[in-house]
Copies of this chain bind each other. A is one copy, B any other.
Amino acid sequence: DSVPIKRALLSVSDKTGLVELGKALAAKNVELLSTGGTAKALRAAGLTVQDVADYTGFPEMLGGRVKTLHPKVHGGIMYVRGNAEHEASVKEAGIKGIDLVVLNLYAFEATVAKGSDFETCVENVDIGGPSMLRSSAKNHRYVTIATAPSQYAELISALNKDGCTPYSLRKKFAAAAFAHSARYDATIASWFAGQLANEPDAAPALLTRSCELSRPLKYGNNPHQKPAALYRPLGSTEPFRVRNGAPGYINMLDAFNAFQLVRELRKALDLPAAASFKHVSPAGAGLGVALNASECKAYDIADPASLTPLATAYVRARQADPLCSFGDFAALSDVVDENTALVLKKEVSDGIIAPGFEPKALEILSAKKGGKFVCVEVDPDYTPPTLEYREVYGVGFAQKRNDREITLDDVKTDEVKKGPMPPDAQRDLVLAAITAKYTQSNSICFARGGQVVGVGAGQQSRVDCVKLAGKKVATWWLRQSEDVLALPFVAGLKRQQKVNARVQYLEGGFDSYAPQEKAAFDKLFASGTCPPELTSSRRAELLGQLTGVSLASDAFFPFPDNMDVAAKFGVKYVVQAGGSVQDEAVLACARGHGMAMAMNGIRLFHH
């Protein structure tokens, strides 16, 4: 299985570690063959090198286009060692065995990225290199092919042992070589196909992906979906780093959707932002805007001044719908400070994604969930490729990613009064719209005071989304009422139990409870019985005090009834795409309810 290295051919674009490798080879009396810049670099280090042209006896010609495309090179790589017929042929033809090929290709995309013209790009397509690389990989039973400086240490260590390479190394390196070649050709093919397209917005005729394993995952959407893994484009580094824990597939779907949301909020509003995700939709999102007194009571925050703006943003994100946020994946727009980590520490949560962690914060978070709390650090300056691709039932779907950013400019105009949107409302409208952008469609999002207060996700009818989100808004608002805050619980209930009980109280319907259900609920109260339900008139009275709410829709309203429903939950400001045949009726209905409405033409479906 071990093959001694007697002769090596080196031809590299990346000269990192080349001289050290050359010296290690020379020390083992390996003959060196080389060309061009590689030969020059080796000679400059005092090594003896034979030119390939000298070996083949064929003059270097055509600007170097054919120097290694010669039987004396490829025969030397590809003959089967120990095969009598092959051995005789190579001897007769004066072919010498080449046992090691060290070769890497100049990244084609770098040529393109430089803005080179078509002719220059084509001229940069390497022919000889990939041919030798593939010859060597094919004959890896006898030949070693190294394609990256990162492999040299392992190679040198094997050589230093006995001047040989083991089969396992050759096979592994051959796999890397084929991958290097595949990636190189995929890049060229993809670029060349793009040179045929006429329209700027046309989909490429050829779509290629060449990815290497970045992180194996335990399973995919479900435990029976194995294998599952994250991938990165070959030769690239991923824009994230797992600092603690072992994230799952759905964790990572949550993480990257959630981080896009907070990153866009941060950029648009210049405030720290947070999101709380579950099942690839936000349960809530919030900005670093100080909490008011009634919020503090409802959220059980004794000392709001102790919270940093980032911690405040997470409190807001988490408190939009604390039941849905149970076991969430959190995203923060800024480097996580100790204060934010301490807030998270108290909550049942699965993980966090952020641009970084202060050491103390990482220490606190890494201790959560018995050390299993997932901490993902993400590069905030990373820009993903424009075209995104997915497969459904084996069919490939590609689209430009939704890189249209929502800004304050998108909510400046009120179409009801044909005037400016009140400045106070603009922030919440942007918050609501960006949140809707990352919510499974159809979606509706309500926001108020720098906080999302209701998300209606994944419904098929728009008005159902408004109702669903509205119900959450009502619960959020009524949680702040004295009626609810004063509920007389038995002593010793945990914070989350109280939150759950208050929401259950607000949902009402006790008369339809099964006996054991009612008994379990009654036990939570000091008197042994749940107080009577809020009457519908008291409910209406409390809801009537809610005003100044902003609403964003991920697409136009098909009918004005959506505004009637929204009005019941204090909505005064709306942003939507517009473009329905019912736009005028929707505007008229909004006017009737005293609302302002921006229509910015931006649909935000998300699937």
Report the bound CA distance from A266 to B239 in whole Å.
44
Q: Does A78 contact B (CB under 8 A)?
A: yes
Report the bound CA distance from A438 to B279 in whole Å.
15
Q: Does A222 contact B (CB under 8 A)?
A: yes
If A122-B140, A127-B131, A220-B402 are given as contacts, then 13 extra A-B residue pairs at C-beta distance below 8 Å, sorted by A number, are A61-B89, A62-B78, A66-B75, A172-B196, A175-B193, A182-B182, A203-B228, A207-B213, A225-B399, A226-B400, A229-B398, A231-B397, A385-B391
Q: Is the CB of A399 within 8 A of B219?
A: yes
Contacts of A70 in B (CB 8 A): 69-71
Q: Does A384 contact B (CB under 8 A)?
A: yes
Interface pick from A35-43, A183-191, A426-434, A479-487: A183-191
Contacts of A62 in B (CB 8 A): 75, 78-80, 86, 89-90
Q: Is the CB of B384 within 8 A of A393?
A: yes
Evaluate whether A397 and B253 lie within 8 angstroms (CB atoms) in the complex, with A79-B62, A213-B203, A221-B402 already known. yes
Evaluate whether A188 and B193 lie within 8 angstroms (CB atoms) in the complex, with A208-B211, A222-B605, A249-B399 already known. no
Interface of A is mostly: mixed
Q: Does A589 contact B (CB under 8 A)?
A: yes
Nearest CB of B to A191, in Å: 9
Nearest CB of B to A210, in Å: 5
Q: Is the CB of A279 within 8 A of B205?
A: no
Report the bound CA distance from A75 to B128 in whole Å.
12
Report the bound CA distance from A404 to B225 in whole Å.
9
Report the bound CA distance from A445 to B324 in whole Å.
19
Nearest CB of B to A273, in Å: 16
Contacts of A71 in B (CB 8 A): 58, 61, 66, 69-70
Q: From A207, which residue of chain B is reached at the shortest CB distance?
A: B211
| A–B Cβ pairs within 8 angstroms, 30 of them | A61-B75, A61-B86, A62-B90, A63-B86, A69-B69, A125-B138, A172-B196, A175-B189, A175-B192, A178-B193, A179-B189, A207-B211, A217-B399, A225-B399, A228-B400, A230-B396, A232-B395, A240-B395, A253-B392, A253-B397, A257-B392, A257-B393, A279-B441, A323-B464, A384-B393, A385-B391, A390-B391, A458-B458, A468-B468, A511-B536
Q: Does A523 contact B (CB under 8 A)?
A: no
Q: Is the CB of A205 within 8 A of B195?
A: no
Q: Does A512 contact B (CB under 8 A)?
A: yes
Interface hits, A368-424 → B, CB 8 Å? 382-385, 387-402, 404
Q: From A467, which residue of chain B is reached at the shortest CB distance?
A: B507
Interface pick from A309-317, A354-362, A513-521: A513-521
Report the bound CA distance from A239 to B392 in whole Å.
12
Q: Is the CB of A607 within 8 A of B514?
A: no
Report the bound CA distance from A221 to B390 in whole Å.
13
Contacts of A592 in B (CB 8 A): 514, 516
Q: Is the CB of B75 within 8 A of A214?
A: no
Question: Which of B190, B204, B399 is A220 in contact with, Cβ under 8 Å?
Answer: B399
Evaluate whether A188 and B182 lie within 8 angstroms (CB atoms) in the complex, with A59-B93, A138-B122, A202-B227 already known. yes
Evaluate whether A182 and B185 lie within 8 angstroms (CB atoms) in the complex, with A69-B74, A227-B201 already known. yes
Q: Does A319 contact B (CB under 8 A)?
A: no
Nearest CB of B to A371, in Å: 20
Say which size band chain A's interface belongs to. 35 or more
Q: Does A549 contact B (CB under 8 A)?
A: no
Q: Does A174 contact B (CB under 8 A)?
A: yes
Per-position 1/0 for A432-451, Cβ under 8 A of B: 00000000111000000000
Q: From A172, which residue of chain B is reached at the shortest CB distance?
A: B196
Evaluate whether A461 and B517 lie within 8 angstroms (CB atoms) in the complex, with A130-B134, A138-B122, A174-B192 already known. no
Q: Is the CB of B221 within 8 A of A606?
A: yes
Q: Does A603 contact B (CB under 8 A)?
A: yes
Nearest CB of B to A170, in Å: 12
Report the bound CA distance from A238 to B281 in whole Å.
32
Interface hits, A559-604 → B, CB 8 Å? 561, 564, 567-568, 589, 592-593, 602-604
Q: Does A457 contact B (CB under 8 A)?
A: yes
Q: Is the CB of A459 within 8 A of B460?
A: no
Q: From A89, which residue of chain B is reached at the shortest CB distance?
A: B61
Report the bound CA distance from A510 to B144 in whole Å.
80
Q: Does A260 contact B (CB under 8 A)?
A: yes
Q: Does A165 contact B (CB under 8 A)?
A: no
The 10 A-B pairs of least Cβ separation, nearest first, read: A458-B458, A220-B399, A384-B394, A231-B396, A203-B229, A390-B390, A182-B189, A278-B460, A324-B460, A228-B399
